[in-house]
């Protein structure tokens, strides 16, 4: 299916375990983003990527690692999960070429992560 997908949709893990959340988009958008959404904080940017092999930190990057070897994939890894990382994680993509028509961010359905 075309669009942006995330997997898994739901994940329960334990403190200290490594977890990888996957994001895949079929539009060949250059920019991809990872956000977390928490009650009381709204959506906060974790990391973003301008192209394959180019990534940069957002507002709340600590405890997360990203990579982007292919344009269409942007996995997010929690190297040692903590309870404070319990959240809903959204991936988004955008062409980000400088026009409001192309810079719209399209969001995936989200991954609901619980760290016990």
Partner 1 sequence: QKEVEQDPGPLSVPEGAIVSLNCTYSNSAFQYFMWYRQYSRKGPELLMYTYSSGNKEDGRFTAQVDKSSKYISLFIRDSQPSDSATYLCAMSYGLGGSQGNLIFGKGTKLSVKP
Which stretches of the chain bind partner 1, using CB under 8 A? Answer: 31, 33, 40-45, 48, 50, 56, 58, 90, 92, 94, 96-100, 103-110
Which residue number, 16 or 26, has a Cβ lying nearer to partner 1? Answer: 26
Which residue number, 27 or 107, has a Cβ lying nearer to partner 1? Answer: 107
Q: Minimum Å distance from CB 28 to partner 1?
A: 17
Which residue number, 59 or 79, has a Cβ lying nearer to partner 1? Answer: 59
List phi, psi (to 5°) of 23: -140, 135
Strands 10-13 and 111-115: parallel
d(CA 51, CA 65): 16
d(CA 52, CA 116): 33
d(CA 113, CA 9): 8
């Amino acid at each position: 299916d075309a669009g942006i997908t995330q997997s898994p949709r739901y994940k329960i893990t334990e403190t200290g375990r490594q977890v990888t959340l996957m994001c895949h988009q079929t539009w060949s958008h250059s920019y991809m983003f990872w956000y977390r959404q928490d009650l009381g904080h709204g959506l906060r940017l974790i990391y973003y990527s301008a192209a394959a092999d180019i990534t940069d930190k957002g507002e709340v990057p600590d405890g997360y690692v990203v990579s982007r070897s292919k344009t269409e994939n942007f996995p997010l890894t929690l190297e040692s999960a903590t309870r404070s990382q319990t959240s809903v994680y959204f991936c988004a993509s955008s062409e980000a070429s400088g026009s409001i028509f192309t810079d719209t961010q399209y969001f995936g359905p989200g991954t609901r992560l619980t760290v016990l």
